[in-house]
């Protein structure tokens, strides 16, 4: 990423803190809001799952380019990955503002997972919930990592950028990939 005039760290630090707190809090609050008069947007989950898959691919392509020494292509793909993550988040929030959460294993779509439905799932439910919990937790955790990594690049501090990117990359990739897996696992239970 291009070196820009050095900005005070405190300016970036303040924005990183603000965004790292405001984004998850806003998403949590918006989950409680329903848009009146708007029908369930059931077409969104496969789209935002695809955006997650595309994000994972873009992250890998960006890594490839920086390993090849192509900083400009790396920067372009990283900006695209950030843009895709924002797009995912917007679609995810809109979907949940128009739809009730789907319960994993709710085969009759009554909004409850009965004992029989739960037993039919077997051990796969533990895999699903482990992936879901780690996905959600790391999706919140990765926000400041992405922001700090990005800021270090735009400030031209490539040594520190590279150091934190070694942590940010696998976290972000995990979030993108598990988002797709969680979608694939729960998609049979979406109401039609």
CATH number of 155's domain: 1.20.120.80
Domain of residue 84: give its range: 42-189
Calculate the alpha carbon distances from 159 to 54, 56, 82, 124 in Å: 28, 24, 21, 42
Question: pTM to 2 decimals?
Answer: 0.88
pLDDT (0 to 100) of residue 13: 85
Which helix or strand (DSSP H or E) is residue 78 part of?
A: helix 71-98
Question: Domain count of the chain?
Answer: 1
Q: Which of 177, 153, 151 is nearest to 59 (CA)?
A: 177
75 in any annotated domain: yes
Q: Which of 100, 136, 104 is nearest to 117 (CA)?
A: 104
Q: Which of 127, 81, 98 is nearest to 39 (CA)?
A: 98
Q: Are the beta carbons of 187 and 46 closer than 8 angstroms?
A: yes
Q: Are the beta carbons of 136 and 31 closer than 8 angstroms?
A: no
4 in any annotated domain: no
The three-class DSSP label of residue 42 is: coil
81 in any annotated domain: yes
pLDDT (0 to 100) of residue 6: 53
Q: Are the beta carbons of 58 and 126 closer than 8 angstroms?
A: no
CA angle, 23 then 25 then 28, to 5°: 110
pLDDT (0 to 100) of residue 15: 87
10-residue stretch averages of pLDDT, the chain, 192 residues long: 53 87 90 82 94 98 97 97 96 90 89 90 94 96 96 93 97 98 94 76
């Amino acid at each position: 990423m291009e070196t820009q005039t050095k900005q005070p760290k405190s300016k970036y630090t303040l924005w990183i803190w603000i965004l790292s707190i405001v984004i998850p809090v806003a998403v949590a609050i918006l989950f409680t809001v329903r848009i009146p008069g708007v029908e369930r947007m059931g077409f969104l989950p496969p789209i935002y799952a695809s955006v997650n898959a595309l994000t994972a691919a873009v992250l890998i392509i960006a890594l490839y380019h920086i390993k090849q020494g192509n900083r400009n292509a790396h920067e372009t793909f990283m900006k695209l990955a950030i843009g895709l993550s924002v797009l995912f988040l917007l679609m995810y929030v809109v979907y949940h503002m128009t739809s009730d959460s789907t319960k994993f294993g709710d085969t009759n779509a009554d909004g409850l997972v009965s004992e029989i439905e739960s037993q039919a799932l077997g051990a796969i439910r533990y895999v699903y919930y482990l992936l879901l919990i780690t996905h959600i937790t790391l999706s919140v955790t990765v926000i400041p990592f992405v922001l700090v990594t990005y800021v270090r690049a735009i400030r031209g501090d490539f040594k520190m950028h590279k150091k934190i990117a070694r942590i940010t990359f696998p976290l972000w990739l995990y979030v993108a990939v598990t988002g797709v897996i969680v979608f694939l696992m729960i998609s049979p239970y979406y109401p039609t």
